[in-house]
Amino acid sequence: MSLRHIGSGGLVAAGIASKASRLDDALVGELPVPISSVVVDGVDSATAATAVVARHRRAVAVRSAFAAEDRDDQSLAGHFDSFLNIELTVEAVRDAIDRVRASGTADYRRDVLVMDMVDARQAGVAFTEPGWIDDLVNYTDGLGDALLSGNEAGESLLLDRRRRKDDDAPWQGRLAALLEQTRDVFGDSAWDIEFADDGSTCWLLQIRPITTPPVRNEWFTLANHREILPDPPSVFMTSLIELASPELSGPLGILSTAAEGRRFIEVFDRRPYLNLSLLTDFLRKLGLPTSLVADSLGGSDGHSVPIDPLLLARQAPTLGKLGIRQFTAARTARKVAQTFRAMQPTAGDDFSPIIDQAATSYVSLVDQMASLATAMAVPVSIVGKLGTLDYHLRQQRTAATQMLDGLRELANIARGNDSTQLALSAGEVPDDPSFVSAWTAWLEQHGQRGVFESDFSRPRYSEDPSSVLVTVGRLANAKPAVELTTSSAKSAISTPIWLLARGPMAAREEIRADAMRAFAQHRNDMLRCAGAAVARGALPAVDDVWMLTVDELRSLDAGETVDAEFMDERRADFAQAAAYDAPDLRRRFGEVEAGTYEDGILHGLPLTSGTVHGTAWVLSEPADDLPPELQDLAPDNIVLIARSIDAGWVPLFAQVGAVVVDIGGDLSHGSIVLREIGLPSITNTRHGTQAISTGDSIELDAGAGTVRFGN
């Protein structure tokens, strides 16, 4: 037999390799495959060419189907010759068969695939992979030979796997249907599929395993890390996050990142970014609006997908499981918090055990925080749209706002006592026994916190309390408490929905506070080991530990050393990275333009109500001293403009009358704190620290989400 017909079945049993046998299986499975034949290795090319001319209907493509290609471990794509539009004459077909065979060797079986040409209007290759909600397509108009050979870049698009859409082009709908059918026949595995569409049918030309997954141009955001880490974080912290990120499971444990090959966090420009595409894909799979991510974190990829009621209905079982996890998320987080509170020092002078323990703490914290944020996202969104989120948050006191409550109590003790206030203004603990007792209690509860506290390199308030003491002294000179928002019919109606969010929200702030106890312990352990490394000559100075990666620190355990010259080069490199203004939002393959803003006005997400006319104080992180142009102003007349905020900014909030934040969302830590405190504030303006300078006149309408500025 000179030819084996694709679709006759049994090609695998005949020993024909996967490139042709998979097309045989595809046609048996009723997938659209053009008329195709296999010229079996060893058959005379002239005899085979005669049979091809007798069977085929139009010009053909003659391609290799060798045993060496399209295997699970290697594809050898483009390694062997292929010829398109071969006219149906014995001479032309025979010549093409001979040339294809000659491109291989006798070390393996060399069958040749002959396929009717498709009069393609669009052609290309599609990658369908489990764990992705979109299939990645690279295509061109007409035949795809130039695209597949690398001579043409073509166009790229993403096809939603959940359903076929014909909105942009009917051929895309036909391709989506072909990919869905292919998964039905071959299973939902990683497939590289060559296709051609003739205007009425999308034809399957080839299917093979993906041996090297394509790197997709996903969206990433700094939103969450801008709040909790300095810019950039220490070298140690960034490398620890990179080490731990493959172990993160994501919101409510749903994102199986290891199986999907996708990481929740990746590092660009020495900064850890959250995978925004991964988060929005999670919502899209459930039919939930992707705006929930932007509302929670701040920022947006600019491609919001609305709620999908039909998909929501189909995902009812999964949503039910999520609902159960939502109710248990707070309980689970509190159990994890107990492990943070029980954290003990690490024995010995090696860095490796501390690094491993710190990575475990980091993964536990991030996973629990993500689960709790997911658990409260929907009820918070609903309450926010009802306009009562401000009211409900003002009624609760979480771990972060309890810090400020404690500072106000300390200020009440100091008020009217000149000697106490004099000591506080110098950043010192006064001699007053009642103050010392209350201060000791405050440090016991909050001393593990600090500015950018999630970076182990940053000191805690228990190590350097001077800025907090200065704040207490300023509070003693009086900042009247903000009156609580009055209740309304809407707030009463929304209370049952709010109760679904209140527990996870309180648990999220509580576990963060307890995690900082563990982080403080890890920091102390690192500094102890760094001291030992300095003593044995392995490290120039103790603080150099924060400028080394986890791998470099492990090498110190193995006996290697770091000298002063190396540290000078590292600091210079770090300074260069710090000088770069990293975008809050980026694609994998490059930055996203920051966009523009109107002269004199910014728009953001309202956190509270209230109107403030004041003067701007622009900061990248908390500062102890007011700049000269603000020193004569009352706190109520100062408007803080910050890139991002977290619990480490709480003492500073007592010294200003309003806050404007570049990036954040309803569920950001700083946003929750500002709402609980009641300061007029907005977030997610994106450009505040760029557009506004310290000393500018500010008019903030928090309820409208606008800030006007200018001299």
* CATH number of the domain bearing residue 179: 3.30.470.20
In this predicted structure, the answer to whether residue 484 has a pLDDT above a threshold of 80 is no
CA distances from residue 615 to 68, 645, 695 in whole angstroms, order as listed: 72, 19, 6
Positive or negative, the Cα torsion across 438, 443, 643, 302?
A: negative
Note whether 510 and 362 are same-domain residues: yes
- What pLDDT does 652 receive? 86
- What's the rounded mean pLDDT across residues 252-276? 73
CA angle 219, 223, 225 (to 5 degrees): 110
Distance in angstroms (rounded) separating the CA atoms of residues 48 and 52? 6
Name residue 272's beta-bridge partners. Answer: 267
- What pLDDT does 8 receive? 87
Name residue 615's beta-bridge partners. Answer: 638, 697
Note whether 198 and 242 are same-domain residues: no
CA angle 644, 648, 654 (to 5 degrees): 95
Indicate the residue among 83, 116, 149 that finishes a domain: 116
Instruction: Establish if 663 belongs to a structural domain.
Output: yes
Instruction: Establish if 592 belongs to a structural domain.
Output: no
Expressed as residue numbers, the domain containing 30 is 3-116
Q: Which residue has the higher pLDDT, 309 or 445?
A: 445
Instruction: Establish if 558 belongs to a structural domain.
Output: yes
- What's the rounded mean pLDDT across residues 377-386? 80
**Of 52, 4, 48, the residue nearest 27 (C-alpha):** 4
Q: What is the CA radius of gyration of the chain?
A: 32
Identify whether the C-beta of residue 660 lies closer than 8 Å to the C-beta of residue 642: yes
Note whether 111 and 128 are same-domain residues: no
Instruction: Establish if 517 belongs to a structural domain.
Output: yes
**Of 42, 44, 36, the residue nearest 94 (C-alpha):** 44
Q: Please give the structure tokens belonging to residue 627.
A: 């700049």
Distance in angstroms (rounded) separating the CA atoms of residues 204 and 195? 5
- What pLDDT does 76 receive? 58
pTM of this structure: 0.79
Note whether 350 and 244 are same-domain residues: yes
CA angle 171, 175, 177 (to 5 degrees): 115
Instruction: Establish if 398 belongs to a structural domain.
Output: no
Identify whether the C-beta of residue 301 lies closer than 8 Å to the C-beta of residue 280: yes
* Percentage above 70 pLDDT, the chain: 89
Note whether 267 and 382 are same-domain residues: yes
Distance in angstroms (rounded) separating the CA atoms of residues 113 and 63? 5
Q: Which CATH number does the domain housing residue 607 bear?
A: 3.50.30.10
Note whether 230 and 204 are same-domain residues: no
Q: What is the pLDDT of residues 409-451, one digit of tens each?
A: 999 999 888 899 899 988 999 999 999 999 999 999 999 999 8
State the pairing for strand pair 681-683/658-661: parallel
In this predicted structure, the answer to whether residue 562 has a pLDDT above a threshold of 50 is yes
Note whether 188 and 270 are same-domain residues: no
CA angle 458, 459, 460 (to 5 degrees): 120
Note whether 241 and 326 are same-domain residues: yes
Note whether 77 and 147 are same-domain residues: no
Instruction: Establish if 615 belongs to a structural domain.
Output: yes
Instruction: Establish if 591 belongs to a structural domain.
Output: no
- What pLDDT does 78 receive? 57
Identify whether the C-beta of residue 3 lies closer than 8 Å to the C-beta of residue 40: yes
Identify whether the C-beta of residue 26 lies closer than 8 Å to the C-beta of residue 78: no
Note whether 13 and 110 are same-domain residues: yes
- What pLDDT does 254 receive? 52
Note whether 135 and 71 are same-domain residues: no
- Identify the top-confidence range among 143-152, 233-242, 629-638: 233-242
Indicate the residue among 209, 238, 254 that finishes a domain: 209
Please state the domain count of the chain.
4
Through-space distance between the first and last CA atoms of the chain, rounded to whole angstroms: 89
Distance in angstroms (rounded) separating the CA atoms of residues 6 and 676? 69
- Reported as a pLDDT band with limits 50, 70 and 90, residue 395 is confident
Instruction: Establish if 35 belongs to a structural domain.
Output: yes
Indicate the residue among 89, 116, 143 that finishes a domain: 116
Note whether 243 and 372 are same-domain residues: yes
Q: DSSP label at 230?
A: -
